Amino acid sequence: MKKFQSNNHEKIRRLIMLSIWVIILIGLPLWWKTTEIYRAQLPFAEIEEWSKKREKLDIKFSTHFSLFIATNVLEGNNNLDFKNLDVRLKESITSKYNFIYSKHDVINTSKSIQFPVKFKIKEWNEWKDVLKEDFNLGQLNFTSKNGKYAFYILPGNNENQKTKVLVGNQRQAIVQIEQIEHWNIDFIEKTISNIIFNLFLPEQIATKKFILEPSTEANVELDSMRTMKYSPMYQVTFSLMNGDPSSLLVNWDIDQTVNKYLKPFVDKISVISNLIVESQIQHYARLTFEPQQKKITENINYNINNNDNDKYFYLTPDLLPHFINAAEWKLASAVSSYPTLNFILYVPSLEQSPLYIQDSKENIIKNNAFLIPRWGGVVINNPDRSTGIHNFTSEELKSVMSIFIMQLRGLLGVQDFWVEAGSGLDSSITIEFTSPQNTAITMWELDSLVRRRIAENIVATILTLKSLSQLVAEIPNMVVLDHIQTEVLLALDSLKKSCTSLQEEQYEIALQHAKKAIERAESAFFDPTMVSMLYFPDEHKYAIYMPLFVPISVPLIVALLREIKEFRENKKKKN
């Protein structure tokens, strides 16, 4: 009877022991699986492939030029021989580009970003209409798209010795060769190659350098320091800041001014980035420092509205970085999460009026304005205080808005074509640019900005995806959800489509795909779930669960070993 009870107790003990170990063996993998980090598979190989070929991107920004050359200019020799002129121009411009690339240490490999040029030579019979007084460039009636330009070449009237170049708004230019003895193919080839080279070189150097040496590195040029980082949308805020409303109440017709002067520019630039415009008026906008003051003298009073005061206040260049009172001025937008561009019209208080800006040579700056890189711009205005109330009319704000638009151009990356092109031309050539009507940007400038933004967005997409793949690879416990994988795949797809459209010279379509690519890449990189702390790293598991399970597991292991030992001994006795 006792032997039967002993055997029964042993069976119960072993069943209990077995059930505990079955629970452990089944529960441990289940627990490990339920606390596992979910990581959707990213296309690491494809991202790495794009990263490797970034410096040798096989993309081309082709430019086509139609040359309309005047006919029947010389007596006895009605037409010039245009044979091989297109080939000569192409070779001349390409050799100049290659020389400058090597001079600027810009790699020019066969599998790198390229700017091929193509020419079409056409006869121009109606060239004498250009010499009429009532002629304007719009009568040439040349329509084209990004990357296609027209040059109209004709003789002049021998009034001076220099070749005149008039660059229009709609991708066309007139080249007037004054000296009739220069009316030959050699001189035309030299002149046109010089003009095209200087018009497009700054854009090409900047684009090549950005691709080979992105602005994330130490070598950052002045233009890139001033220009905002690309965004598909910007919040533009116009603020009228009144230093002291107790001495002067101010208001402004900003809605009418924006619609009249800014809207055409906003519509034109919308192909690259959309601008959300808002305005505000803030009172008691005090400065954080006291401006310096100086007595008005005959040498400077021509530029000062002194308001019957014998002194004026001024800001020196070292004070301008401290002008914005970020602690008290409410300039951040709570409506939009997009980058904000702030433009401030500042009216100083009576105690600090009139207020002007001096340059490093102690000369008063005429427009009384300054630019804050990657932030916005400021214009200081000293209105009439005699009535105690001043309303800035739309006509009065015209000059202020023109300054804001010029500052906005610089912040959005619009390059001043006339400044860079004019400085590099031969002394025998004078160039004039037609001012854009209302839009504040010519098609030449817009085309250049489109091409640069395509290149920048392609490179930025590759760098962002590369950073994302490195981050995921280095942190094995980082959560990667399915929508992150989807965003990355869509970004790569848009990247391919952008490059394909670029090869087909469809720049507007390439820009749209490049915009989608960088948006999706940054959406994946900055997704909130990528930095979530709702997961169980291995260190957490060991630190939390070992103090609990180790003390329990020791007697279980000892009991299991004892049972195994007894089982073996009983087996030997039976044998």
Classify residue 325 as exposed, middle or buried by CB count within 10 Å of its CB (0-12, 13-18, 19+). Answer: middle
Asked whether 374 and 408 are in contact (CB, 8 A), the reply is no
* pLDDT score of 409: 92
Asked whether 101 and 131 are in contact (CB, 8 A), the reply is no
CA-closest candidate to residue 508, choices 146, 203, 111: 146
Q: From CA 415, how far away is CA 437, in angstroms rounded?
A: 17
Tell me the two tokens of residue 311. 């002194």
* pLDDT score of 302: 42
CA-closest candidate to residue 353, choices 377, 326, 380, 320: 380
Asked whether 312 and 306 are in contact (CB, 8 A), the reply is yes
DSSP designation for 303: G
* pLDDT score of 294: 83
* pLDDT score of 269: 94
Q: From CA 523, how far away is CA 528, in angstroms rounded?
A: 9
Asked whether 449 and 495 are in contact (CB, 8 A), the reply is no
Q: From CA 522, how far away is CA 467, in angstroms rounded?
A: 10
**Can you name the residues that pair with 293 across neighbouring β-strands?**
313
Q: From CA 507, how far away is CA 505, in angstroms rounded?
A: 6
Asked whether 152 and 140 are in contact (CB, 8 A), the reply is yes
Q: From CA 459, how far away is CA 464, in angstroms rounded?
A: 9
DSSP designation for 398: H
- The domain limits of the chain are 2-35+538-574, 44-56+449-531, 63-216+423-442, 228-412
3-state SS record for 14-61: HHHHHHHHHHHHHHHHHHHHHCCCCECCCCHHHHHHHHHCHHHCCCEC
Task: Classify 505 in phi/psi space as left (phi over 0), alpha (psi -120 to 50) or beta.
Answer: left
pLDDT in tens, the chain (575 residues): 555 556 677 777 778 778 888 888 888 788 777 767 788 899 999 999 888 877 667 778 889 999 988 887 765 555 567 778 888 888 888 887 776 666 555 544 444 577 888 999 888 887 777 766 656 666 676 667 888 999 988 887 666 678 888 888 888 888 888 766 777 888 888 889 888 888 888 888 878 777 766 654 434 455 567 889 889 999 999 999 999 898 899 999 999 999 999 999 999 999 999 999 999 999 988 888 888 888 776 545 445 555 556 788 999 999 998 898 888 888 876 666 789 999 999 999 999 889 999 988 888 999 999 999 999 999 999 998 888 899 999 999 999 999 999 999 999 988 876 666 667 777 778 888 888 877 788 888 899 999 999 988 999 999 999 999 998 888 877 888 899 999 999 999 999 999 999 989 899 999 999 999 999 999 999 888 876 655 556 677 677 777 877 787 788 788 778 878 877 777 777 76
Q: From CA 496, how far away is CA 502, in angstroms rounded?
A: 10
